[in-house]
Amino acid sequence: MVSIKMKKENVVDDDLQLVERFKRGDQSAFDELVLSYQSRIYYLILRIIGDSDEAADIAQSTFVKVYRSLHSFRGRSSFKTWLYRIAINLTKNYLREKVKKERLPPLREAERQAEGKLEEMIAKERSQMLRETVSLLPERQRLTLILRIYEELPYKEIARIMGGTTGLAKVNYYHAINNLRKKWTKLNSAH
């Protein structure tokens, strides 16, 4: 446990050192930051939007934005939290644009439709169904769930990334799990 904590602290220190080096004009420090986080950011976005090309594009935009505004990073949160916040915000923007462009029904409507499609979904493989169920969660719950389960972030960090309080992050996570549980129970009983 102690060694894990120390490792985390070292990562944070390394990140801050790289940020400082970049601020002093060392461009290679930025490259190191990108190399160190590109996979995590890409897969985080991929898990949210499910489209590899778009995920790569948003990941690029994330790092371009980091490059542009790294000088304004104060180190109040860890670099990772700051980076995740940029990535999540760009992903949310992308999802909103996508909804506008494709005139997708709002999420609540989509949820109702999903209820209707439940029978149809039963025919699919369970994990696929579960993934679809996750994708139909309200945006905030879904993002919180992904940050908590896959990124294993504490609520405090999720709150910093998503905006809002630690309590709100916790509530969103519990709602997400509860919503999934209800649908999961239905799926299981249908089987």
Partner 1 sequence: MRCAKARKYMLEMVEEGLSPLLQQRLKVHLESCPTCQGEYDALQELYYTVKGLPLPQVAEPLGTEVLGLVRQRIRAEGIEPSLSLWNRGGWRILSLFRRPLLAYTSLVVIVGLVIGGILFWFSYSQRVTVDLSDLTLDEVEQAWELISPEMEVDMELIALLDSLSPEEISSFSDELKVEVEPDLILSEVPILPSGYLNSGYFYYDLSDFSPEEIEEIIQQLSDKGSSNPSPQKEGGGARLFLKPIDEFVSI
Q: Using CB under 8 A as the criterion, which residues of the chain lie in contact with partner 1 when the complex forms?
A: 22-23, 31, 34-35, 38-39, 42-43, 46-47, 50-52, 56, 59-60, 63-64, 67-72, 74, 126-127, 130-131, 134, 145, 149-150, 174, 177, 180-181, 184-185, 188
Among residues 26 and 115, whose Cβ is nearest to partner 1? 26
Report yes or no: 66 and 46 within 8 Å, Cβ to Cβ: no
Give me the phi and psi of 152, to 5 degrees please.
Answer: 55, 45
23 vs 137: CA distance, rounded Å: 40
- Residue 177 Cβ, how far from partner 1 at the closest point, in Å? 6
What's the number of CA atoms in the CB half-sphere (13 Å) around residue 67?
A: 13
**CB of residue 172 to partner 1, shortest distance in Å:** 13
Pairwise CA distance, residues 97 & 106, whole Å: 12
In the complex, least distance from residue 68 CB atom to partner 1, rounded to whole angstroms: 6
Cβ within 8 Å of residue 135, ≥6 positions away: 50, 142
Closer to partner 1 by CB, 60 or 166: give it: 60
| Smaller CB separation from partner 1, 54 or 111 | 54
Cβ of residue 93: shortest distance to partner 1, in angstroms?
Answer: 17
Between CA 3 and CA 123 the distance in angstroms is: 46
Q: Phi and psi dihedrals of 123, rounded to 5? A: -70, -20
DSSP designation for 164? S
Between residues 71 and 124, which has the closer beta carbon with respect to partner 1?
A: 71
Closest separation in Å from C-beta 123 to partner 1: 18
Of 27 and 106, nearer to partner 1 (C-beta) is: 27
